[in-house]
Structure 1
């Protein structure tokens, strides 16, 4: 054994070195114990994992062995199973051959697409029918609401002569004001000042009578058309337009010859003619608040001022007629 090294610095230094060495040995021992403990724990975990895997393998093996035993038992009970299956195969083949052939995938896709298109068409038809039904219901309700004040006032719907009496007034402007009260299907946007310019003419009284009769006929035309729509009946040729209605009516208040459904090229196409006939309407009929009114009625004869009433027939949509102008004959190609 080699002698213990002694410190050249004396016994005190020697003692210090011994303490330090002892502490280092203790630390190494502690680390070794911790490492050993860690390794033991890891080993336990790995051991538990492999033990679990071994149990799973054993269970699987037992299950496989059980299946093998059951198959062996089945085979032992039906030794002629193979021969039976072989005898059944021809019959199965014949049955399969009798089955209808499956259509090709492309054919199935084509059928599916055709069915989808048909479904879409039917859905569109249903939507259109529902919209038409709703429109008819709205038209019926609107017609009943608009005609109720007339009925409450004792005027029979469609009686133009009785309505003309209610529209009588001492002035042309007054006739238009009366129409606003009694003609629930007319919207009068005409400037009353245009009518007032005709008041001092010698034929003013005749024009007042004709204006009242004209407005009464327009109202009864709209009434009958609204009622037909409300009851789901078509307008028919007699209610195709105001001219047709006047021609089929027994009333003589407005001759169909006085109803003009259109005008010449100047009035419908020229800037001046078209501007004069672009007249105010409610914005729910046209968002711009204006519409070109070529349809008009001859209230006066051909001699100036030849009064005319221009109107916009919206009975096929809103059920209303807008009277946009009553006054002197508007500018046309023959006007100087």
Structure 2
């Protein structure tokens, strides 16, 4: 028995605090009101900063002449305003345009779903005759952009004359627009010459299906020819590979590659057993490496303390010789200063090695977590540290890629640091600090969204770094969760640490940022990164300031 497949994908607007659960509940509740199909919840999973769930539908065609199996996979990424969906369907006979579209049968268009081109998937024909010029210009601009978009995965049928037989859409794969001649001219101004709409009808085929557009310029338009063109498009989708962003999802890939009407095999997967064995061996090796690195980190810490003690001894010797002869003192001072500089450089190198070991420990912890759950990926953490020519570009890259952070920091204080000789080192440490905050926020919000207790390891950023959680790239010694009482109780100093936040966090639009990370501990300008942890409410960590040390009671 042949299995004929189709797929289409797009977006659904979110609603409520847990949009994925809300969409799943609405689809399951709808089935209780319609007994012409069945639905099974295949469960959900977490993947880093995203959640995914799968629903399986089944129904029979007219007079039970064929059967249909449908897999609907939903994915929600934290911080986005829409849920992405992919509908994969299999039929025991070749698809035709007269068949009931799976998206319509399960009620997907009732959720306000749209295709990948953001055109809503709707069954009725959208009549656009007699619209105002402003309405025509606006919609022609949007439609013209969608028609030439390379990522468009649904077809668009535009009619300028009524066909001999009424033609309806196929939700998810074909949208139908009935337009007048004025809109046709308006739309053609937004299209290249090869895509212009003639007087009659044109079926704009998605680029992924690699079919020519169907053009009918005869009058009246043949409805039968249009139906045949839509049928050819639907059947061509059976040979079109899954979109890249869905092709690597295990549940979708496995369902689409197998016969959903066949009974499941009960024998164990030898390949999976082999992979699990290799994963266990790699896990044991990773644990051994972590043990060695911890010993090295302890040795480096002891060496750092020894260097610090020697520096203190040299400073005491410098004070002891202050009463000696001036000429002799100057000579000794020069020698001692040279030794102090050597030890200071050694101290800085030790700190740099300690930070690198901390970063390697975080990467290995991420690799360890990946082997515990084959679906977890820590590719982002395994990339080498990025180099940024300026703090402005660093902040821009962080705003674009670190989705759990809200960076409200003004760029001017950070830009001043670019002229310092140690700016490159500070930028590397700031990048690791921002990635650590993003990893902490992602791990904590993922557990909170799942209704689980984050536990003591994720109680705050300091505990996250101190326990070496996956994604922790900085030392816990440079993290402070609060300022001193002197700063906190002084209104002037407190206002200097008050920065912008979302009204959901504080209706006043501003809040106090006492927590900070030291990019340089002692030497001026001793740059600091101030942050506010709001993962319990909005799932966000704010970064309100990046620049030189803010004023204290010891500064003017």
For 2:544, which of 324, 328, 332 is the aligned residue? 324
CA distance in 2, matches of 1:183, 1:193: 21
For 1:234, which of 440, 453, 475 is the aligned residue? 453
CA distance in 1, matches of 2:411, 2:462: 25
Question: Residues 258 and 160 (structure 1 numbering): CA distance in 2 closer, same or farther, change over 3 Å?
Answer: farther
Residue 438 (structure 2) pairs with residue 210 (structure 1): no
How far has the Cα of 1:160 moved from its partner? 6.2
Give me the TM-score of the superposition, normalised by structure 2: 0.33
Which structure: greater helix fraction? 1
**Using CA pairs below 8 Å that are at least 6 residues apart, which structure has the higher relative contact order?**
1
The structure with the largest alpha-carbon Rg is 1
Question: Residues 230 and 238 (structure 1 numbering): CA distance in 2 closer, same or farther, change over 3 Å?
Answer: same
Would the aligned equivalents of 1:139 and 1:230 in 2 still touch at CA under 8 Å? no
How far has the Cα of 1:139 moved from its partner? 9.6
CA distance in 2, matches of 1:320, 1:157: 21
Give me the TM-score of the superposition, normalised by structure 1: 0.54
Question: Residues 287 and 231 (structure 1 numbering): CA distance in 2 closer, same or farther, change over 3 Å?
Answer: same
How far has the Cα of 1:200 moved from its partner? 0.5
Would the aligned equivalents of 1:164 and 1:213 in 2 still touch at CA under 8 Å? no
> Which 4+ stretches in 1 moved above 4 angstroms?
138-143, 154-160
How far has the Cα of 1:146 moved from its partner? 2.8
Structure 1 gaps of 5+ residues are: 1-133
Question: Residues 184 and 157 (structure 1 numbering): CA distance in 2 closer, same or farther, change over 3 Å?
Answer: farther
Would the aligned equivalents of 1:299 and 1:309 in 2 still touch at CA under 8 Å? yes
How far has the Cα of 1:253 moved from its partner? 2.0
Question: Residues 146 and 244 (structure 1 numbering): CA distance in 2 closer, same or farther, change over 3 Å?
Answer: same
Would the aligned equivalents of 1:297 and 1:309 in 2 still touch at CA under 8 Å? yes
How far has the Cα of 1:161 moved from its partner? 3.1
Structure 2 gaps of 5+ residues are: 1-15, 23-48, 51-75, 84-243, 249-365, 367-375
Which structure: greater strand fraction? 2
Would the aligned equivalents of 1:295 and 1:310 in 2 still touch at CA under 8 Å? yes
CA distance in 1, matches of 2:520, 2:390: 16
**Paired residue for 1:269?**
489
CA distance in 2, matches of 1:157, 1:230: 19
Would the aligned equivalents of 1:267 and 1:274 in 2 still touch at CA under 8 Å? yes
CA distance in 1, matches of 2:501, 2:554: 28
CA RMSD of aligned residues (A): 3.0
Residue 524 (structure 2) pairs with residue 296 (structure 1): no
Would the aligned equivalents of 2:464 and 2:472 in 1 still touch at CA under 8 Å? no
SS of the equivalent of 2:77 reads helix
Q: Which deviations, in whole Å up to 9, do the C-alpha atoms of 1:167-216 show, x marking residues without a partner?
A: 54211121111000101110000000110010010100000100110000
Aligned length: 199
